[in-house]
């Protein structure tokens, strides 16, 4: 899971063996997925389970990108805050954001069970707390917005004591969030992939081209190989980095 000797190595990367990979991409497949992070490998797992011929291409290794550096909290309590989401997208938009993240956690839990992936997955409560008096008003407003967004099981805590936090103020407790070992999870998703389904190659973004006609999208992989796939899923850039 390492990209080079200069980067720090996360605990997930240190404790997850690399994925066997073919050096050369297969020339044809039903679906080509670029990026072996949590998005690409989860999609690959689900598509393979439905019988599709899937090939995953990554410049480095599985979990070499953001996934290998995550804190591995699976939470529907979004960093962007529901007060903000409600303001930008209305109550329905905030509800959709919360529901989609809850569904994602449920999906991961279902995959962990059905594929028997031993990845320390556990449901835990999430706590959002004020670390100073100036944050109490925002926390209260966030509680209201989270309720509107559908967190009906949300519990308001009057005074929370946490080791290392001097301010003992209010908090919001969100039941049924989760945590896991993301490296073991990726390993489990890819457990049954033959080496020919995982290829190490750098995909040059501007050269991913869509051709109108019978051919479908054409993917050109730098270093000469040409790969044809009717469906190409670009899972190599985490969403946050795609925004201008
Ligand atoms: C410090 C930190 C903490 C985080 N904590 C959390 C958290 O607690 N909970 C949470 O939900 N999210 C968290 N995140 C965000 C989360 O990690 C990412 O949203 C998620 O991992 C993105 O997954 P991905 O599969 O989209 O992308 P990635 O994991 O980045 O996968 C992309 C893959 O594509 C490959 N690639 C890139 N470019 C090319 C190319 N040109 N050719 C071929 N391959 C290429 C990369 O090598 C990489 O393996 C955190 C992120 C960071 C950095």
Ligand 1 center to 167 CA (angstroms): 33
Tell me the per-residue pLDDT of 110-131, one tens digit each, with 9 for 90 and over.
999 999 999 999 999 999 998 8
Q: Tell me the C-alpha distance between 41 and 61, whole Å.
A: 11
- For tokens 């011929």, name the residue: 53
Does 36 share its domain with 58?
yes
Tokens in use for 228?
Answer: 């044809």
Give me the domain span that covers residue 148.
73-180
What global pTM score does this model have?
Answer: 0.89
Spans of the chain below 50 pLDDT:
206, 211-213, 222-224, 240-244
Pocket test for ligand 1, best of 33, 202, 236 (most atoms within 8 A of CB): 236
The dihedral over CA atoms of 145, 148, 153, 154, expressed in degrees to the nearest 10, equals 10
**Residue ending a domain, choose from 180, 208, 225:** 180
Within a domain: 85: yes
Reported as half-sphere exposure (CB side, CA atoms, 13 A), residue 9 has a value of 12
Within a domain: 4: no
CATH number for the domain that contains residue 190: 3.50.50.60
Tokens in use for 45?
Answer: 């797992």
pLDDT at 57: 87
pLDDT at 231: 78
Calculate the alpha carbon distances from 26 to 22, 136, 197, 204 in Å. Answer: 9, 56, 8, 17
pLDDT at 22: 67
């Amino acid at each position: 899971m390492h990209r080079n000797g200069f980067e720090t190595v996360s605990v997930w990367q240190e404790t997850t063996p690399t994925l066997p990979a073919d050096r050369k991409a297969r020339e044809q497949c039903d679906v080509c997925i670029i990026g072996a992070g949590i998005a690409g490998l989860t999609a690959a797992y689900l598509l393979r389970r439905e019988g599709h011929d899937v090939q995953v291409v990554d410049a480095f290794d599985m979990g070499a990108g953001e996934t290998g550096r995550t804190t591995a909290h699976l939470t529907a309590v979004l960093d962007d805050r529901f007060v903000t989401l409600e303001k930008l997208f209305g109550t329905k938009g905030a509800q959709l954001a919360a529901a989609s993240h809850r569904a994602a956690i449920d999906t991961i839990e279902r995959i962990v069970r059905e594929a028997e992936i031993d990845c320390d997955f556990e449901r835990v409560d999430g706590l959002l707390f004020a670390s100073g008096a100036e944050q109490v008003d925002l926390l209260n407003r966030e509680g209201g917005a989270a309720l509107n967004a559908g967190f009906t099981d949300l519990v308001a805590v009057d005074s929370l004591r946490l080791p290392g936090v001097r301010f003992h103020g209010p908090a919001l407790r969100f039941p049924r969030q989760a945590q896991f070992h993301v490296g073991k999870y990726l390993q489990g998703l890819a457990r049954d992939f033959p080496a020919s389904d995982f290829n190490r190659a750098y995909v040059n973004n501007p050269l991913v081209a869509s051709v109108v006609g019978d051919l479908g999208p054409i993917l050109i992989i730098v270093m000469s190989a040409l790969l044809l796939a009717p469906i190409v899923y670009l899972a190599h850039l985490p969403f946050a980095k795609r925004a201008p």
